[in-house]
Amino acid sequence: MIRFDQVSKRYEGGHEALSQLSFQVAPGEMAFVTGHSGAGKSTLLKLLGLIERPSHGSISLDGQSLAKIGRGGIPKLRRRIGMVFQDHRLLMDRTVFANVELPLVIGGVAPAERGRRVRAALEKVGLLAYERQLPATLSTGEQQRVGIARAIVAKPTLLIADEPTGNLDPQLAVEIMGLFAEFQQVGTTVLVASHDLPLIKRMRKRVVVLDHGRLVADIAAEEVL
């Protein structure tokens, strides 16, 4: 599903954020990317979402080289990838429904179909009753779940999340990670960046460890203690 081949990323005027990174993620797999602050976790996810481009090396998704996708092809790629961020990035002046509907509006999905899909996504994250509310009236954990509903509403084959539990208390963090595991169970490939080691260990999924932009460990789910 995901293939990084000798990928390096140097930001303009900066040092190497990722160095010769190679790894693969199989379809339907769930993996964590961890490492210290500044290790390159967010950079890795940004390269997948074409928010950034690599300086060297190649990345492919479902056998398609990302290098061949130009500006015009980015919206189409983003429909295949659901993205969740630490700060939920919701539009605070729009209802929960409208926030989750947005990717479908952009994707040109017909209104009747949009309503059906938005409700299905809200139901999956347990927020069906909140569709008419504004995000500000929801708790932090609920807001994050709206962000997740928005990420999955277009039925992406890949879900990527950058520190999705960074702003949540431990109990809520466990619930949110459980949601990601549920999406994996229905066939979505899931890649989550997190520095919360106790939580990662609890999930018993594959763990890819970065240190100063290099892959220093790749621990299989069965080997996570």
Ligand X SMILES: Nc1ncnc2c1ncn2[C@@H]1O[C@H](COP(=O)(O)OP(=O)(O)O)[C@@H](O)[C@H]1O
Residue ranges in contact with ligand X by CB under 6 A = 11, 14, 17, 35, 37-43
Using DSSP, state whether 217 is helix, strand or coil: strand
d(C-alpha 219, C-alpha 223), whole Å: 6
Min CB(80)–ligand X separation in Å: 22
Amino acid (one-letter) located at 42: S
Between residues 11 and 26, which has the closer beta carbon with respect to ligand X? 11
Residue 39's binding partner, choosing from ligand X, Mg ion, none, with beta-carbon cut-off 5 to 8 A by kind?
ligand X
Closest CA to 105 of 93, 96, 97, 114: 114
Between residues 17 and 160, which has the closer beta carbon with respect to ligand X? 17
Contact positions toward Mg ion, by CB under 5 A?
41-42
In order of 52, 146, 168, the CA distances from 47 in angstroms are 5, 24, 26
Residue 35's binding partner, choosing from Mg ion, ligand X, none, with beta-carbon cut-off 5 to 8 A by kind?
ligand X
> Where on the phi/psi map is residue 113: left (φ > 0), alpha (ψ -120 to 50), or beta?
alpha
Min CB(89)–ligand X separation in Å: 16
Between residues 41 and 117, which has the closer beta carbon with respect to Mg ion? 41
Residues 6+ apart with CB under 8 A from 162: 41, 42, 45, 83, 84, 85, 86, 193
Between residues 42 and 144, which has the closer beta carbon with respect to Mg ion? 42
Min CB(41)–Mg ion separation in Å: 5
Residue 82's binding partner, choosing from ligand X, Mg ion, none, with beta-carbon cut-off 5 to 8 A by kind?
none
Residue 14's binding partner, choosing from ligand X, Mg ion, none, with beta-carbon cut-off 5 to 8 A by kind?
ligand X
In degrees to the nearest 10, what's the CA dihedral of 213, 219, 221, 225?
-110
Min CB(23)–ligand X separation in Å: 15
d(C-alpha 60, C-alpha 63), whole Å: 6
Between residues 47 and 100, which has the closer beta carbon with respect to ligand X? 47
* Residue number closest to Mg ion, CB atom: 42
Between residues 43 and 144, which has the closer beta carbon with respect to ligand X? 43
Min CB(37)–ligand X separation in Å: 5
Min CB(187)–Mg ion separation in Å: 27
Give DSSP secondary structure letters for 44-98. Answer: HHHHHTTSS--SEEEEEETTEEGGG--GGGHHHHHHHEEEE-SS----TTS-HHH
Is the CB of residue 78 less than 8 Å from the CB of residue 49?
yes
Residue 17's binding partner, choosing from ligand X, Mg ion, none, with beta-carbon cut-off 5 to 8 A by kind?
ligand X
